[in-house]
Structure 1
Amino acid sequence: MNRKKVARALVSVYDKTGLVELGKSLEKHGIEILSTGSTAKVLRDAGVKVIAVEDHTGFPEMLGGRVKTLHPRIHGGILADQSNPNHLQELVDADIAPFDLIVINLYPFTQTIASGAEFNECIEQIDIGGPSMLRGAAKNYNSVAVISDPSQYSLLNSALKQGGFTLEERRNLAMNTFRKTAEYDIAIADWLANELNQNDWRAKVWHKISDLRYGENPHQSAAVFTDISSAKGISSAKQHHGKEMSFNNYTDADAALRAAYDHNQPCVAIIKHANPCGIAVASDIKAAYSAANACDPVSAFGGVVAANRTVTVEMASALSEVFTEVVVAPGYEAGAIEILAAKPSIRILELANYKIAKEELRPITGGLLIQDSDLIEASGDDSANWQQVSGGEISAQVKSDLEFAWRSVRSVKSNGILLAKSGASVGVGMGQVNRVDSAKLAVARAGDRANNSVAASDAFFPFADGLQILLDAGINAVVAPGGSVRDAEVIEAAKAANIAMFFTGVRHFSHA
């Protein structure tokens, strides 16, 4: 295997991690080192022999350090194709020596903007010379190896011990470098677009976490990626135990987290096929789990469970009695993981500081739909702003159940109807193409529990027929957005049954 020897290197790094060890390794292998500013100082202070770039170019740094390496004696040495006799002759004529290795990492632009720094400070952290050298070296991978991150130093040391870099190694390093500079440019462009309130251009960088066994079905290949700039979500959860996560596990766990974190009280959501089998709130998380599981224990078998509070030993004990694919929570009490791990297959995930993303991306053929996330924070989501259109005064418990049902129905696939009692769902009708069938499904699942329950509908009742099914089952209050051309007909049905009906003025469709 042919390896290209490294005789001359340029080193200029912002992140000084491993720099001294790197410099000593290069010196040990007889490599001439050129360096800039603080990088050169660190190496010299460690006793490593370094040639300053300004001494090599005969031109000092200028403009407060904005111009250091933008010089033909640097870029000519980086871009020269060492297999091209004409290039080599031009280097000789210009008294320029070629580089075999470039070690560069960039100003911390993303960290700077994340810190909330002022606009001008962020501008100063946009690296110019670094990306130019990285891109030049990556383009010229036939002649130059390019190291763009301290994590690659071990690969560099290994190559030096073997006499240099292979062509394949240089190609891979070039690929990684272009990825890094692309990510850097995207971060800058995205930040400037946000600063200038421009939303007509979008780009994101996704990093693969792992391949998955398959997608929704065994014949579909799949992988999971993460966007490191986005809110902390299911893709960054820590797995403590169990089989590897599947495509469907991720989908359901994401939906379960959204459902659980729609509530401020201790809440557990149990999800199957991205729909809730049960949601409940309670004063403690074990009670919330038991109530959620009681909604539809048949469907909860093999479900995905999310809690918005630490899983206690008591909850773990109850959960361990039911076959569960995944449990995800912000933390686990001492002993809780051990109880759950007695089941070899259950996937135990921990995700602290979960945050719902502010926007959603949905691919369509040849394009992408982007929308604000459907958060429970509109004025109509506050019961103080609801309009009561029928019935008299309601009890505090009924009001609490209506508020719970309204927050919970957001997670139900449209058309969605959710029946609730005592802070827990008792029947859920989801994913039907008309609201009548969703109402029938919710009532059927609730059974006798529908009597004296409350109902929430994710969108208006287009006719009174869907509401009438709920009334016949014995509900005592209902909350819906309102807005149908037949609202008067629907309100009359509620008045005839003498139940309280509230309009929120906000809809919570969920189609995906």
Structure 2
Amino acid sequence: MKRALISVYEKNEKLFKFVNFLDQKGYQIVSTGGTYQYFIKKGLSNLIEVSNFTSFPEILDGRVKTIHPNIYAGILANRSIEKHMKSVHSHNIHLIDIVLVNFYPFFEKIHHKPEPININSLIEFIDIGGPSMLRAAAKNFLHVTAITDKNDYELVQSEIDDYGFPSLKLRKRLAGKAFNFTSAYDSAISQYLLDDKFPIYLHSSYEKKINLRYGENPHQKAAYYVNITHKGSMRNFQQLHGKKLSFNNLRDMDVAWKVVTQFSEPACCTVKHSTPCGVALGKNIIEAFQKTYYADTISSFGGIMAVNVPITKELAKEINHIFLEVVLSPNYETDVLNILKIKKNLRIISISEPISDRLEYVQIDGGILVQESDYFFPYEKSYKIVTKKKFSDQELKSLFFAQKVVKYVKSNAIVVAKNTQTLGISGGQTNRIWAARQAIERALEKSKEGLVLVSDAFFPFRDVVDEAARSGGIRAILQPGGSIRDEESVKACDDYGIAMAFTGKRHFKH
């Protein structure tokens, strides 16, 4: 007799439909307590409870029910080895051909709403029997079918219909999926219990959310995975309209949202090729948008735009006058969506989760670099003015605004701002003077006075100060300091009547 062991936490009609199919095909269904009761109520007939199958009752509040030689020998016996078969027959052990398991929902309980459950309760959602049985079945895939994904039910059913049993090719693939899942499950538990940023072994639990059309370029295949164990703004966003998201869209969305969520005032940011090209605050979102777009009308074309407050009808109409790939906002009213949806390809994203990245990962060939995320520091309390001239209140506000932008600009990075609006951004340059010249030049096209300059790293020479002075409009500078030639830059500022402060914190972004 063929047997299928079914032990699941999640019980639904799709499961019952598949198990009923197995029942009709002559499989004896071996099942655990809760699952057994579910199938009894559904009217399955060829059904046996695990405690009767093992002749041993469930004990320790269900912690021990499937951990028994009758179960594991029935799964692990290699049917091509005579010694194995004699052993199971001598002990009156019945072979098990299919193992279908889903686990206690540890992933879900970590993010339990409104608050995560306490550790004593969470421990009860660490599944032992389920992963053990699944791993046993996967190890013995030459003879046993391991099923953990409900999307595979129909595939298994189809092959049983066609061949009488699942093919070796399918069993091997399902075994791989089983180990793929158990490793992610164990990784999630490990990360939760260990709570170590840099453990000896680096495990990641990510689940595929979507296949992407392609990667950075059309010849590169790509997919998007979300973190199972940690929260994050990019895990649960909703796409309300438009074409499928691309690899580059997602990277730019991440940067744009990180920029605007730093501010409590209405904020707008446009991003192109993973770099902010315009950022501004306003007394309302329409003002923030207009200032952002004016900051760089050329680069905004085909860019990603994020705002940190709901989009109004007035703003929706403005957006429709320009070409954007993606718009992100915490909320949209129905009439606003109808306006934006006039552009059929515009990707409209609803996003509200705060930024919660704790670590960043960068893959290199044969390894991976892991670092803490570059959180924003409260410079309002830690900067040190090093020049004779001090900052005005307006310059301080403008400098701290630009500081929140520069750390998301590729190094070498310079941001020139006026009030709470970027006017010149330059990044990704191989030396700082080029970045400074480009940012200053772009800013001067729009304004020639009341400008401030922020740098992501120290000035190796005084040439950046000289360039700022030549502009005639830059009156304040914020930079980390720490160069052996800092005194030259300070003296240059004093000679030109420019105020400058050191923060002591560098913000390289490679």
TM-score norm. by structure 2 comes to 0.90
In 2, are the aligned partners of 1:439 and 1:467 still within 8 Å (CA)?
no
Q: Which aligned pairs between 1:479-490 and structure 2 lie closer than 5 A?
A: 479-490=478-489
Change (3 A) 1:240 1:108: closer
Residue 463 of structure 1: how far off its partner (Å)? 2.0
Give the corresponding residue for 2:171: 170
Q: Which shifted more, 300-309 or 35-44?
A: 35-44
SS of aligned partner of 2:298: helix
Task: Write the distance in 2 (CA, Å) between the matches of 1:146 and 1:221.
Answer: 29
Matched, 1:107 2:108: no
Give the corresponding residue for 2:404: 407
Give the corresponding residue for 1:94: 91
Matched, 1:494 2:490: no
Change (3 A) 1:197 1:274: closer
Q: Which shifted more, 113-122 or 285-294?
A: 113-122
Q: Which aligned pairs between 1:360-371 and structure 2 lie closer than 5 A?
A: 360-371=360-371
Task: Write the distance in 2 (CA, Å) between the matches of 1:339 and 1:489.
Answer: 55
RMSD (Å), alpha carbons: 2.6
Residue 349 of structure 1: how far off its partner (Å)? 2.3
Q: Deviations over 1:24-53 (max 9, x none)?
A: 554444432222223223333444444222
Give the corresponding residue for 2:359: 359
Q: Which aligned pairs between 1:413-424 and structure 2 lie closer than 5 A?
A: 413-424=410-421
Give the corresponding residue for 2:193: 192
Q: Which shifted more, 459-468 or 218-227?
A: 218-227
Residue 117 of structure 1: how far off its partner (Å)? 3.9
Change (3 A) 1:192 1:270: same
Q: Which runs of 4+ in 1 moved over 6 A?
A: none
TM-score norm. by structure 1 comes to 0.89
Give the corresponding residue for 2:36: 40
Q: Deviations over 1:280-339 (max 9, x none)?
A: 111222211111111111122222212222222222211221122222222223233333
Change (3 A) 1:154 1:319: same
Give the corresponding residue for 2:5: 10
Task: Write the distance in 2 (CA, Å) between the matches of 1:151 and 1:220.
Answer: 27
Task: Write the distance in 1 (CA, Å) between the matches of 2:380 and 2:28.
Answer: 72
Change (3 A) 1:247 1:44: closer
Q: Which of 44, 67, 71 in structure 2 is aligned with 1:70? A: 67
The answer for unaligned runs of 5 or more in structure 2 is none
Residue 216 of structure 1: how far off its partner (Å)? 2.6
Q: Which aligned pairs between 1:368-379 and structure 2 lie closer than 5 A?
A: 368-376=368-376, 378=377
In 1, are the aligned partners of 2:411 and 2:428 still within 8 Å (CA)?
yes
Matched, 1:282 2:278: no
Change (3 A) 1:20 1:366: closer
Task: Write the distance in 1 (CA, Å) between the matches of 2:241 and 2:40.
Answer: 48
Q: Which aligned pairs between 1:47-66 and structure 2 lie closer than 5 A?
A: 47-49=43-45, 50-66=47-63
Matched, 1:427 2:424: yes
SS of aligned partner of 2:306: strand
In 2, are the aligned partners of 1:455 and 1:475 still within 8 Å (CA)?
yes
Give the corresponding residue for 1:457: 455
Task: Write the distance in 2 (CA, Å) between the matches of 1:198 and 1:296.
Answer: 40
Give the corresponding residue for 1:3: none
Residue 375 of structure 1: how far off its partner (Å)? 1.4
Task: Write the distance in 2 (CA, Å) between the matches of 1:235 and 1:129.
Answer: 30
Change (3 A) 1:168 1:365: closer
The sequence identity of aligned pairs, in percent, is 39
Q: Which shifted more, 208-217 or 277-286?
A: 208-217
In 2, are the aligned partners of 1:17 and 1:150 still within 8 Å (CA)?
no
Change (3 A) 1:450 1:231: farther
Q: How many residues align?
A: 502
Give the corresponding residue for 1:259: 259
The answer for unaligned runs of 5 or more in structure 1 is 1-5
Task: Write the distance in 2 (CA, Å) between the matches of 1:47 and 1:214.
Answer: 47
Q: Deviations over 1:391-430 (max 9, x none)?
A: 5554433222122111111122111111111311011122
Give the corresponding residue for 1:183: 184
Matched, 1:127 2:127: yes
Change (3 A) 1:327 1:168: same
In 2, are the aligned partners of 1:361 and 1:369 still within 8 Å (CA)?
yes
SS of aligned partner of 1:328: strand
SS of aligned partner of 1:299: coil
Residue 373 of structure 1: how far off its partner (Å)? 0.8
Q: Deviations over 1:317-364 (max 9, x none)?
A: 112211222222222232333333323333222222142411100011
Counterpart of 1:504 in structure 2: which amino acid? T
Give the corresponding residue for 1:476: 475
Q: Which shifted more, 383-392 or 424-433?
A: 383-392
In 2, are the aligned partners of 1:419 and 1:450 still within 8 Å (CA)?
no
